[in-house]
Amino acid sequence: MQRSEEELRAGTREREAGQIRVNKQVRTDREQVRVPTRHEEVSVERVPVDEEDTGAGIGEDEVSIPVVEDEVVVEKRPVVKEEIRIRKSVVQDEELVEEDVSKEEVEVEDRTEWLEDRAEHRPAERETNRTAAETGWRAEAEQTGKEEDFIEKAKRKLQG
């Protein structure tokens, strides 16, 4: 016969505890920027001439003078403003687990009747074995060289 007990052993296994998701979206905002501009304005001035012989002829004439202004040009280009970095780190922790365990108990009941001559020859050994059987501990009596009783052998085997 063997006596067994459950032993509590705890370990770990890795499982997925969730996930983190990072996404980006495009949001459109209206921005205003003041841009300084320039432009030319034309003014016409008439000045009277008081000279008689200028050599001017009568006929049609045309003069073209370009007038310029600044035109606002808008250009959009992507510019990296920040970088997103995601890191994972392992954190060491400890959990206390509690579980019920089963243990077998062995009870030895001695129902033997000792013969008168056996009782006279080995009374101390009989008392030692009975005490060991009652408390569940193995009796370690010295070997006397005599044959042991079958029941005593069985009791020692059960206790060991």
From first to last of its 160 residues, the chain has per-residue pLDDT tens of: 899 999 999 999 999 999 999 999 999 999 999 999 999 999 999 998 887 776 777 889 899 999 999 999 999 999 999 999 999 999 999 999 999 999 999 999 888 876 555 555 554 444 444 444 444 434 444 443 344 566 677 777 777 6
On whether residue 155 sits in a domain, the answer given is: yes
On whether residue 123 sits in a domain, the answer given is: yes
On whether residue 121 sits in a domain, the answer given is: yes
Q: pLDDT digits over 61-108, tens only?
A: 899 999 999 999 999 999 999 999 999 999 999 999 999 999 999 999
Task: For residue 126, give the nearest of 114, 138, 136 by alpha carbon.
Answer: 114
Task: For residue 3, give the nearest of 101, 106, 100 by alpha carbon.
Answer: 106
DSSP helix/strand/coil, 47: coil
Task: For residue 76, give the nearest of 124, 119, 26 by alpha carbon.
Answer: 26
Task: For residue 128, give the nearest of 110, 101, 107 by alpha carbon.
Answer: 110
Task: Tell me the residue range of the domain where 134 lies.
Answer: 116-159
On whether residue 19 sits in a domain, the answer given is: no
Domains contained in the chain, number: 1
pTM: 0.40
On whether residue 74 sits in a domain, the answer given is: no
On whether residue 17 sits in a domain, the answer given is: no
Q: Which two tokens stand for residue 43?
A: 């003014």
On whether residue 153 sits in a domain, the answer given is: yes
On whether residue 131 sits in a domain, the answer given is: yes
DSSP helix/strand/coil, 150: helix
